Amino acid sequence: MSADTKKYVSWFRHSSPYINAYRKKVFVILLPGEAIAHENFHNIAHDMTLLNSLGVKLVLVHGARPQITQTLKEAGLKANLQKEPSGKFHRQLRVTDIESLTHIKRVVGQMRIDIEAMFSMGLVNSPMHGADINICGGNFVVAKPYGVQNGIDYSHTGEIRKVNSEAILAQLADNNIVLLSNLGYSATGEVFNLAAEEVAAETAIALEADKLLIYSKESGILDKDGVSINKLSAEQAQKLIEEKTGHKENDEALKNLQLSIKACLATVSRSQVISYVDDGALLTELFTRDGVGTLITQEQYEQTRAAAIEDIGGIMDLIHPLEIEGSLVHRSREKLEAEIQHFVVIEREGMIIACAALFPHDNQTAELACMATHSEYRNNSYGKVIFEYIEESAQALGIKKLFVLTTKSPHWFLEKGFIEGNVESLPTEKKSLYNYQRNSKVLEKLI
């Protein structure tokens, strides 16, 4: 087996927890007009097809700003500040009269056809062979006129009144990809030109999507040295917005931060900004540990919490390699189900990366057991984090002494304040079950 093949097999194995975590989840993806026009878009389409095949529910929102600007320019509808004709921008919104709307509808219609054609590819040598993708759209976005603001009549420029989430979810349930544009429809039968960014945000909020993925030219939000920021809390993102506000009106990073914050402060778990220039950015962001873009989240990126029945699969994936090498005693799924209330886990992006269990034996003694950390995270102090969580939980229960049986990591526990004990110091029940063939060391700690 070649080195490249081994690397691929390793990556595929490590991606399986993410595949399980994302199945049946709703992702809203914003594709600005620049992304559609870029030569890498056919690769992006292939990657989104793969997500659909893995059971991810996709809503794609495409913009058309550069295409519309070029079409209006060719039609002679350039911005003119004196006459304020169609094509003029005010407060980052295009003023849309009936003449420009005619051109806009033609542009959006053509783009929709091209996108549908891209997802219809099925040649044998194509990554989309056998995918049988169904793209659907409709009047899912209800709009209203933006109106007159500060003396400017925005005419057929609109804002969102409602997103028909039930109709979209019905299409997603049938495994269709839903495609939305920057156009919305009113109860009176009018068409309004909307900001695609707002369509994406409001749709993600209405659907309570798990992710809002935003394509941009840059690889996420860049720091002052031009390096992509891996993750931002909502508070950190807000500070960046305040720093950027007032600099450049059309700053792409500022828009993406504002969009992400709006979604995360509502119902969306996470927003992620990735590049439409980089081939494979979507898959790398979703299926590798650190990704390639910027994650903005209202929640903690990593969460230490009590385990639930839904975590059993993740715990089994985590402890299985350690059971094979003999570091942990084998636990069946049935045994884990019976003991799950004793477990705590660390979850990172839907993946269980560490676990441990606390088994009280009497009013003052408890066993720390089944402590494991994912192989990729063993140098990141997660073992210390989950141990401290267990220790605090034990103290809250009135436990005075912890003990652990280990064959592989006695020094780690000694560094955490444990001392060597012996089989005779174990609680009676545990002493009767001690496996002398494993010859585990007994370590104890007063807490």
pLDDT at 123: 45
Q: What is the mean pLDDT of residues 159-169?
A: 96
- Quote the pLDDT of residue 85: 44
Per-residue pLDDT tens over the stretch 215-251: 999 999 988 888 889 888 877 888 888 877 655 545 8
Could you tell me which of 40, 41, 90 has the C-alpha nearest to residue 62? 41
Say if CB 340 and CB 349 are below 8 A apart.
no
**CB-based contacts of 153, cutoff 8 Å, min separation 6:** 95, 147
What is Dmax (Cα atoms) for the chain?
94
At residue 51 the predicted structure's pLDDT band, cuts being 50, 70 and 90, is: very high
Query: CB 118: neighbour CB atoms within 10 A?
Result: 19
pLDDT higher than 80, residue 127: no
Distance (Å, whole) CA 430 – CA 425:
10
Reported as a pLDDT band with limits 50, 70 and 90, residue 350 is: confident
Place of tokens 């873009």: 293
Strands 211-216 and 270-275: parallel
Task: Record the pTM.
Answer: 0.70
pLDDT at position 246: 58
Rounded average pLDDT over 178-199:
95
Can you list the alpha helix ranges (DSSP code H) found in 275-355? Answer: 281-287, 312-324, 333-339
pLDDT for 363: 77
pLDDT of residue 196: 96
According to the model, what pLDDT value does residue 358 have?
97
Residue 129, pLDDT score: 55
Residue with tokens 């720091």: 223
Cα 99 to chain centroid, rounded: 40
Instruction: Give me the mean pLDDT over the 267-290 stretch.
Output: 92
Assess whether pLDDT exceeds 60 at residue 89.
no
Whether 66 and 60 have beta carbons less than 8 Å apart is answered as no
Nearest one of 368, 365, 367, 429 to 398, comparing CA atoms: 365
Report how far residue 377's alpha carbon sits from residue 313's, in angstroms, rounded to the nearest whole number. Answer: 18
pLDDT at 318: 93
pLDDT at res. 236: 84
pLDDT at 189 > cutoff 80: yes
pLDDT at 125: 53
Beta bridge partners of 420: 443
Considering the chain, tell me which residue range(s) the CATH 3.40.630.30 domain(s) occupy.
Answer: 303-446
Mean pLDDT of 421-432: 90
Distance CA 257, CA 155 (A): 28
pLDDT at 87: 52
pLDDT band (50, 70, 90) for residue 86? very low
Tokens of 402: 């912890």
Of residues 31 and 327, more confidence is placed in 31
Which residues are CB-contacts of 244 (< 8 A; sequence separation ≥ 6)? 251, 253, 254, 257
CA atoms of 117 and 138, how far apart (whole Å): 17
* Averaged pLDDT of the chain: 88
Start and end residues for every CATH 3.40.1160.10 domain found in the chain:
3-299
For the cut 80, the answer to whether the pLDDT of residue 96 exceeds it is yes
Comparison of pLDDT for 125 and 95, the residue scoring more: 95
CATH class entry, domain 3-299: alpha beta
Q: How many CA atoms lie within 13 A of 380 on its CB side?
A: 12
- For the segment 364-379, the average pLDDT, to the nearest whole number, is 89
Specify the pLDDT at position 426: 92
Percent of the chain with pLDDT over 90: 62
Superfamily covering domain 303-446: Gcn5-related N-acetyltransferase (GNAT) (3.40.630.30)
Residues 6+ apart with CB under 8 A from 356: 343, 344, 368, 369, 370, 371, 372, 386, 387, 389, 390
Q: pLDDT at position 199, please?
A: 97
Low-confidence winner among 23-37, 243-257, 277-291, 403-417 (lowest mean pLDDT): 243-257
Whole-number Å distance between alpha carbons of 112 and 109: 5
What is the structure's pLDDT at 152? Answer: 82
Alpha-carbon gap, residue 377 to 248, rounded angstroms: 40
Closest CA to 349 of 10, 12, 19: 19
Q: What is the pLDDT of residue 130?
A: 56
CB proximity list for 395: less than 8 A, separation 6 or greater? 447
Sign of CA dihedral 143, 148, 149, 152: positive
**Average pLDDT for 14-43:** 92
